[in-house]
Amino acid sequence: MLKEFGDFIARGNVMDLAVGIIIGAAFTAIVASLVDDLVNPLIGLFIGGVDFGGISFGLGDAQFMIGNFINAVIKFLIIAWVVFLLVRSVNRLRDRLAPKEEPAPEAPAGPSQEQLLAEIRDLLKTRS
């Protein structure tokens, strides 16, 4: 069982996944800082610093913080939009920098089935 576990860990795709998760966590911190420190204050200028955090209602002893949920949804949408813009920009830059591939030349068309059958027929006629 330990050998199987060692083989599993040594596979490249597991290591790639680990690197992806670590890079993703670091990237999340960067994007969250971008949104919290740059985008949200800019949006706050336009909507007058509206904070939905105080919106809530209670039923018995339970307190439902709808405002916090609204803030989380807004933050998610902003982060998703910023990530979309970053990925789109990186893809466009990669496409511009990537060498253009020449289309492969088309293979010459071979004889059709009818032509092959006609040749076989003619060869059979000459042999008999």
pLDDT at 31: 73
pLDDT at 56 over 80: yes
Residue 42, amino acid? L
Number of domains into which the chain is organized: 1
Q: What is the pLDDT of residues 74-92, one digit of tens each?
A: 778 877 887 788 889 988 9
Is residue 21 included in any domain, yes or no?
Answer: yes
**Is the full-model pTM beyond 0.85?**
no
The conformational region for residue 54 under phi > 0 = left, psi -120 to 50 = alpha, else beta, is: alpha
Average pLDDT over residues 14-35: 79
Question: Which residue range(s) make up the domain with 79?
Answer: 2-98
Is residue 87 included in any domain, yes or no?
Answer: yes
Helices 12-34 and 2-10: angle between axes, nearest 10 degrees: 60
pLDDT at 61 over 70: yes
Average pLDDT over residues 32-44: 74
User: Can you give the CATH number for the domain in which 13 is found?
Assistant: 1.10.1200.120
Average pLDDT over residues 56-65: 89
78 within 8 A of 40, measured Cβ to Cβ = yes
